[in-house]
Structure 1
Amino acid sequence: MRARRGLLYVTLVALVAVFVLPLFWAVSASFKDRGDIFSVSVLPENPTLDNYQRLLDGQPFWSWFGMSVGTATISTVVSVFVCALAGYGFAKFRFRGRQALFTVMFSSLSIPFAVILVPLFVLIVKSGLSTPWFSLIVPWVAPAFGIFMMQQYIVQAVPDEILEAARIDGAQEFAIFWRVVLPLLRPSLGALAVWSFLQTYNSFMWPLVIVSETSQYTLPLGLNILFSAENRSFDLVLAGAVLASIPTILVFLLLRKQLLDGLSAGAVKG
């Protein structure tokens, strides 16, 4: 028993090291001069903020940062609401074509994004809605994974008796969803919000196709410019990567309770 527990702890420590050490190296290297980034020393011998200063002064970093955080935040809020509403409809309502519609929606999970990239681009451009704030948000407000996730959770976590009691009291359907269903979905909403934010915030291929102005780039595109330049600006890329990781860490810290509760509920009920 002790041997198994010891092996478990060793495995967990190894996994933590795999995920933490690259972040630790990036933070440390971002305070080094360009010539010392790949030196043997782990910690910077002469820490400097020049990398951050040159990044913020010489590049439109805050524009990239605002575009990424803004589109990811709006997309997450809208996506969580739409997925919860659609999942509620699939879970608790019976209507003609429901199973066929759900099958089509669920089957879309198997379609690679590369397959719909060109048709989606043509649709957005032809409709005259290719502005970055629209094109980076609207196509992802109803992901099939989020709808399926909410539908499964609602089936397990929301008893029909509660809904019938609310209807008997005279509550309208949307009021039931807003006041009764949503509070019960808090753990799954937190887990879905983390997933949705990371998906949008880290997206690279779609912004690369739809955004043309450098000042309207998202962070992945902006950092890619710095890395793809002839001088390979590793110092600026590392400083930008460290700053870019802050929103994702904050999102996890703010929603960690809901995320862990959602994962625990899924493990218990699934």
Structure 2
Amino acid sequence: MSAVATARDRLPGAATPPPATGNRPRRRYSRTGRILLYVTLSALLLVFVAPMLWALSGSFKPRGDLFEYPPNLIPSPATLDNYRNLLDSQPFWSWFAISVLTAAAATAVAVFVCALAGFAFAKYRFAGKRLLFSVMFSSLSVPFAVILVPLFVLVVKSGLSNPWFALTVPWVAPAFGIFMMQQYIIQSIPDEILESARMDGASEFGIFLRVVLPLLRPSLGALAVWQFLQSYNSFMWPLVLISNTENYTLPLGLNILFKAEARQFDLVLPGAVLASVPTILVFLLLRKQLLEGLSAGAVKG
């Protein structure tokens, strides 16, 4: 009977037997898992987005309507008086310019320095390399508050306390960025490419500029986003360094509005909305490099 059944199954017009149902529970489980995943991600998205939506909505509300209950997400009536009062009563654009320009300068310098240092640690042998790398890496465990006072004294004694310069000092060579670049270069840039460039007569610095940097675009984008956020959102270092209100950064400026005798939420909310614009733009401009850098690290590492 088995031989007859096998021959019958091989006939061109024979009916196809029904598929096995052994995978149905697995498919149901997979579908249930996806539903739970989507529900969890939606809940997390709501947790992160809700404060932003409330700040955006509140920035267009009169002060008396900010804490109405139940809360109304759509302002009624909507007004631009909060933005006008903020820009007229506070040096907001000065805070904005100092924060954006110093963060951009610190990011540009840090990305270049971290890539150069990571290239040296990854591809060169020199005396004291392991000791120097160990000291650099161990600095990740030191809180910034520990070096805050020594760094401040060093900057002031050196005559470099100008806010436009001093605000970039702590961020020009972050240990995390150097370690990140070193690991990415080890995994992504083979020695054969460098040897080929040397045989063509390229200098070591030329190899770094023309060969290494173009290959580091994904990791440089990820580092730039992280570094910009670190510098832009810095609060403790500007608080110690700056005493003139005109030279405040955005975190300090918004803090004095929040800590005023009558907390000026009608000014804090539009200030927070405007302050979030540069970070959103940086993420949108570098999101492709950020995702490529993170995915490359996940696959290779």
Length-normalised TM-score, structure 2: 0.89
Count, aligned residues: 270
> What letter is aligned with 1:24?
L
Do residues 20 (structure 1) and 55 (structure 2) align?
no
Partner of 1:176: 207
Moved over 3 A (4+): none
> What letter is aligned with 2:90?
Q
Partner of 1:213: 244
RMSD (Å), alpha carbons: 0.6
Matches within 5 A, 1:140-159: 140-159=171-190
Question: 1:157, 1:211 → 2: CA distance?
Answer: 42
Partner of 1:247: 278
Structure 2, unmatched stretches of 5+, are 1-29
Partner of 2:85: 54
Question: 1:198, 1:139 → 2: CA distance?
Answer: 13
Question: 2:100, 2:65 → 1: CA distance?
Answer: 31
Matches within 5 A, 1:1-270: 1-39=30-68, 40-270=71-301
**Deviation readout 1:41-65 (Å, 9 max, x if unpaired):** 2211100000000001110000000
Deviation of 1:179 after TM superposition, in Å, equals 0.4
Deviation of 1:138 after TM superposition, in Å, equals 2.1
Question: 2:38, 2:153 → 1: CA distance?
Answer: 51
Deviation of 1:70 after TM superposition, in Å, equals 0.4
Instruction: Determine what percentage of the aligned residue pairs are the same residue.
Output: 75
Partner of 2:12: none
Question: 1:164, 1:259 → 2: CA distance?
Answer: 29
Question: 1:42, 1:24 → 2: CA distance?
Answer: 8
Deviation of 1:189 after TM superposition, in Å, equals 0.1
Larger radius of gyration: 2
> What letter is aligned with 1:119?
P
Deviation of 1:223 after TM superposition, in Å, equals 0.4
Structure 1, unmatched stretches of 5+, are none
**Deviation readout 1:121-147 (Å, 9 max, x if unpaired):** 111111111110111012310000000
Length-normalised TM-score, structure 1: 0.99
